[in-house]
């Protein structure tokens, strides 16, 4: 297990770093140099006991000890930064690898995760592994090298006393192993409690407006306090429960030193050991036991990160959307979209969200998807972007099954505008260039004008260089939506998917955006989800969904003549438009 943890950074990042290897080598040299400092001291004591000590001998031993000390300092001075740089670089790569892995997993996996728990894995869990790995790795290697080197030196002086030193170690290591066993459950409890606390805090802060508006501040507060109390109790448990056994580990190491004293005195009285040898052992054994205690602490801390490591590795084990084999990926030759007997259920369950959907979305036209809430409209559009894979049937783009098109190639053809807009921390310009980083300023402003976003962007304090708050909180819902539309327009993909893109836009801007979408539809495949049927009455093709099934399709006038669900929805919306608040 310790070996697995020592190679955790390599496993998580998927690559090595030469600085780390050099840093470990220098850490070993640091430990050996620390042990070598005692060799001149022992030789000097032998000179004193033999009565042959001279000023030259003293100076020579002093210079040798100084050289060992300087070598140890230099090895640490050069090696520790290498260890930190290599460890941080590999853990940074691990973060990127995890993020890139999550970019390719089915969206259904995210719907089953608590945002706070996922955030805890990507922050506190990775930070714990990074801290322990970068800080304790060097200490562990250096601390292990020094006592091993000293033990070899002591074996050369008197092998019997070395056996005495080694005799007490098994009991000490048993105590340490039991300490690690005792701390395992509190450690897992602490990591789980910390993740729950981070999740609860995130949910509390994000929902505080709703909590206050519904007058449930007290209950929400009590829930948060209960979660934080559990974290506090877990922190106390992880410190208190292993303490007696950790003390026992230290006690057994100290007892081994006491045993060394008694054995040495016994052999000294028996004239089988010289006083100088005993003194040398007692002097050198002190750093041996001290370093072994530090190694024990480092070992326990490395094992403590095991659950955090498992949680991160579980993210990397999440199955990805299948990709075509290298060289077998196909590119669509056109941009018509064909649904052929598509059935889809979230998590592969029995409750189908789409069932037996077959239709053709013609290329270079505007297709609207309408229907009552829960009909499967958003799911149908998300399947076109291959955020999930269908369970039955197929979806073909330009005659090619989406599963035979590489994800990168597919997303090059598709731009999406979600109903819930996601903006990232950064400037307005950065957010607009998300799908096309190389776009020039003129192209960006042209897309913003077409999305009716240019004027309000220019009115911001720094215009396009204005740094947005997290999630674009400083903008109104309509402004965020128009930036999202401009972002999709700038990408200029041949397929544009819009999920109720004008839901948060004021009526004055809505007409302009509808004209921009109609203009954009020329020469492109546009699929738009709409609840307000008047916005899509001029669509080239309308798909009417109900309970996950495609019940009608055609143009506006033809659907009205059929007198089915579309005509019913149109009639209800026409009546609702004439509704006014009256007086009693």
Query: DSSP string covering 398-422, please?
Result: TTEEGGGS-HHHHHHHEEEE-SS--
pLDDT over 70 at 229, yes or no: yes
Specify whether 362 is located in the same domain as 286: no
- Whole-model pTM: value is 0.67
Specify whether 306 is located in the same domain as 363: no
CATH number at residue 126: 1.20.1560.10
Q: Which of 372-386, 448-462, 464-478 has the lowest mean pLDDT?
A: 464-478
Pick left, alpha or beta for residue 563 (phi over 0 → left; psi -120 to 50 → alpha; otherwise beta): left
Look-up: residue for tokens 């897309």?
A: 447
Q: Which of 385, 481, 487 is nearest to 436 (CA)?
A: 487
Tell me, yes or no, whether 583 lies in a domain: no
Angle CA(401)–CA(406)–CA(412) in degrees, nearest 5? 100
Contact by Cβ (8 Å): 538, 556: yes
Tell me, yes or no, whether 329 lies in a domain: no
Task: Give the list of residues 6+ apart from residue 17 with CB closer than 8 angstroms, or none.
Answer: 86, 87, 89, 90
Q: How far, in Å, are 182, 265, 443 from residue 232 at the CA level?
A: 18, 50, 54
Strands 366-370 and 495-499: unpaired
Cβ count near 43 (within 10 Å): 15
Residue 273 is predicted with a pLDDT of 77
Residue 29 to residue 145: CA distance in whole angstroms:
8
Residue 161 to residue 180: CA distance in whole angstroms:
29
Give the mean pLDDT of 66-90: 87
Residue 309 is predicted with a pLDDT of 80
Q: How far, in Å, are 171, 322, 327, 360, 387 from residue 403 at the CA level?
A: 59, 7, 14, 18, 11
pLDDT over 60 at 504, yes or no: no
Specify whether 496 is located in the same domain as 357: yes
Domain of residue 72 covers 2-316
Specify whether 394 is located in the same domain as 251: no
Q: How many domains, the chain?
A: 2
Tell me, yes or no, whether 322 lies in a domain: no
pLDDT per position as a tens digit, 357-400? 999 999 888 899 998 888 888 889 889 988 888 889 999 998 89
Tokens of 255: 């007892």
Q: Which of 293, 40, 303, 306 is nearest to 143 (CA)?
A: 293
Specify whether 312 is located in the same domain as 341: no
CATH number at residue 420: 3.40.50.300
Long-range (24+ apart) CB contacts under 8 A made by 548-554 are 548/352, 548/353, 548/354, 548/355, 548/357, 548/375, 548/376, 549/354, 549/355, 549/356, 549/357, 549/376, 550/339, 550/357, 550/358, 550/359, 551/371, 553/359
Which residues in 435-532 belong to E strands, given as ranges?
A: 467-468, 495-499, 525-529
Specify whether 297 is located in the same domain as 350: no
Tell me, yes or no, whether 493 lies in a domain: yes
pLDDT per position as a tens digit, 288-308? 777 777 777 777 776 667 777
pLDDT over 70 at 581, yes or no: no
Residue 240 to residue 79: CA distance in whole angstroms:
35
Contact by Cβ (8 Å): 553, 543: yes
């Amino acid at each position: 297990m310790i070996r697995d943890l020592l190679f955790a950074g390599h496993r998580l990042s998927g690559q090595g770093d030469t600085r780390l290897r050099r840093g470990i080598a220098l850490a070993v040299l640091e430990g050996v140099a620390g042990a070598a400092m005692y060799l001149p001291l022992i030789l000097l004591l032998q000179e004193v006991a033999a009565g042959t000590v001279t000023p030259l001998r003293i100076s020579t031993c002093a210079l040798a000890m100084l050289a060992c000390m300087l070598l140890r300092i230099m090895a640490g001075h050069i090696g520790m930064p290498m260890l930190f740089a290599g460890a941080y670089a590999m853990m940074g790569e691990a973060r990127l690898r995890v993020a890139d892995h999550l970019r390719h997993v089915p969206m259904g996996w995210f719907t089953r995760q608590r945002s706070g728990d996922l955030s805890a894995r990507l922050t506190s869990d990775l930070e714990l592994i990074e801290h322990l790995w970068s800080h304790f790795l060097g200490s562990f290697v250096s601390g292990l090298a020094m006592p091993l080197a000293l033990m070899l030196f002591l074996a050369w002086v008197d092998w019997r006393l070395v056996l005495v030193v080694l005799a007490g170690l098994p009991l000490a290591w048993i105590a340490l192993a039991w300490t690690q066993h005792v701390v395992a459950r509190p450690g897992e409890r602490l990591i789980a409690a910390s993740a729950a606390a981070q999740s609860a805090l995130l949910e509390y802060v994000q929902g505080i407006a709703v909590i206050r508006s519904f007058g449930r501040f007290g209950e929400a507060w009590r829930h948060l306090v209960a979660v934080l109390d559990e974290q506090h109790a877990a922190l106390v448990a992880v410190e208190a429960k292993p303490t007696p056994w950790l003390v026992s580990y230290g006690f057994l190491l100290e007892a081994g030193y006491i045993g060394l004293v008694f054995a040495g005195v016994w052999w000294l009285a028996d004239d089988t050991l010289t006083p100088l040898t005993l003194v040398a052992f007692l002097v050198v054994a002190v750093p041996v036991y001290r370093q072994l205690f530090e190694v024990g602490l480092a070992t326990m801390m490395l094992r403590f990160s095991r659950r955090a490591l498992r949680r991160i590795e579980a993210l990397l084990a999440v199955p990805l959307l299948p990709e075509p084999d290298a060289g077998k990926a196909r590119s669509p030759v056109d941009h018509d979209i064909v649904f052929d007997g598509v059935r889809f259920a979230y998590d592969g369950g029995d409750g189908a969200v789409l069932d037996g959907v077959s239709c053709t979305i013609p290329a270079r036209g505007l297709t609207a998807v309408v229907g009552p809430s829960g009909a499967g409209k958003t799911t149908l559009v998300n399947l076109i972007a291959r955020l999930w894979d269908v369970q039955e049937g197929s979806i073909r783009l330009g005659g090619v099954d989406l599963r035979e098109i590489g994800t990168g190639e597919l997303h090059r053809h598709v731009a999406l505008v979600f109903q819930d807009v996601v903006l990232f921390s950064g400037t307005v310009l950065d957010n607009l260039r998300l799908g096309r980083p190389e776009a020039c300023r003129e192209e960006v402003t042209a897309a913003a004008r077409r999305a009716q976003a240019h004027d309000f962007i220019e009115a911001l304090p720094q215009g396009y260089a204005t740094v947005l708050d997290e999630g674009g909180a400083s903008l109104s819902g309509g402004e965020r939506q128009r930036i999202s539309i401009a972002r999709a327009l700038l990408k200029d993909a041949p397929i544009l998917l819009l999920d109720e893109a004008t839901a948060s836009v004021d009526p004055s801007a809505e007409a302009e955006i509808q004209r921009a979408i109609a203009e954009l539809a020329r020469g492109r495949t546009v699929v738009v989800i709409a609840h307000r049927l008047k916005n899509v009455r001029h669509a080239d093709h309308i798909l009417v969904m109900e309970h996950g099934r495609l019940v009608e399709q055609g143009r506006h006038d033809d659907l009205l003549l059929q007198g089915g669900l579309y005509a019913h929805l149109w009639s209800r919306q026409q009546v609702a438009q004439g509704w006014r608040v009256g007086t009693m």
